[in-house]
């Protein structure tokens, strides 16, 4: 999907949504994006864009109270997870992690590095780095 040396400087929250849209538009069934980077680095903004880029008009919120959000109605469904508030791998498995992965939709995970054991091989890691008002988004390993 993205080359291993791909990176982008993102100057505003709106530009972060636009980047997500651009990538969302090119995603294929079953792709998994694992987002990594500190608080406020732009992961949720990016996810909003991915959902919009797939043609879904639903509003994206942080999965704080519900552990996984499903956005249907676009070209592909998006399953949005945030491992930040999850305590154990088991908790993630119990909400149906494996089924989501097998569903041929798009899985987007914030704080994916918290449970690396749960992330399958075919993932694309994206690192979000804060640089003052800008953010750098790049493909990680
Ligand atoms: N260039 C930028 N790109 C994205 N967000 C930016 C940028 N500059 C400033 N911001 C601000 O940074 C914050 C990013 O919030 P967002 O919720 O997307 O981050 P997050 O990585 O999901 O954080 P969390 O780890 O808490 O889930 C917002 O308050 C946004 O307005
Ligand atoms: Mg977030």
Q: How far lies 45's CA from each of 26, 60, 137, in Å?
A: 18, 9, 12
Instruction: Choose the residue to mutate in 7, 19, 39, 41 for probing ligand 1, maximizing ligand atoms within 8 Å of C-beta.
Output: 41
Q: What is the tens place of the pLDDT at every residue in 61-79?
A: 876 666 789 999 999 999 9
**Cα dihedral value 64, 42, 72, 114, nearest 10:** -60
Q: In the structure, which protein residues have their CB atom closer than 6 angstroms to any atom of ligand 1?
A: 10-13, 16, 37, 39-45, 62, 110, 128, 133-135
User: Which atom of ligand 1 is the closest one to the Cα of 62?
Assistant: 27
* All structural domains of the chain: 7-140 (3.40.50.300)
Average pLDDT over residues 8-20: 98
Report pLDDT for 61. 83
Does the pLDDT of residue 34 top 70, yes or no?
yes
Instruction: Choose the residue to mutate in 35, 45, 69 for probing ligand 1, maximizing ligand atoms within 8 Å of C-beta.
Output: 45
């Amino acid at each position: 999907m993205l080359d291993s040396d791909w990176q982008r400087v993102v100057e505003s929250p709106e530009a972060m949504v636009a980047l997500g849209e651009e990538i969302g538009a090119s995603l294929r069934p079953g792709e998994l994006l694992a987002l990594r980077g500190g608080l406020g680095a732009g992961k949720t903004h990016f996810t909003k864009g991915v959902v919009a880029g797939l043609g879904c008009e639903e509003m994206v919120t942080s999965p704080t109270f519900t552990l996984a959000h499903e956005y249907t109605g676009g070209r592909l469904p998006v399953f949005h997870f945030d491992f930040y508030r999850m305590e154990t791998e088991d908790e993630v498995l119990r909400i149906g992690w494996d089924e989501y992965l097998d569903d041929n939709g798009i899985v987007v995970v914030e704080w994916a590095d918290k449970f690396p054991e749960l992330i399958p091989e075919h993932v694309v890691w994206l690192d979000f780095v804060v640089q003052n008002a800008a953010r750098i988004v790049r493909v990680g390993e």
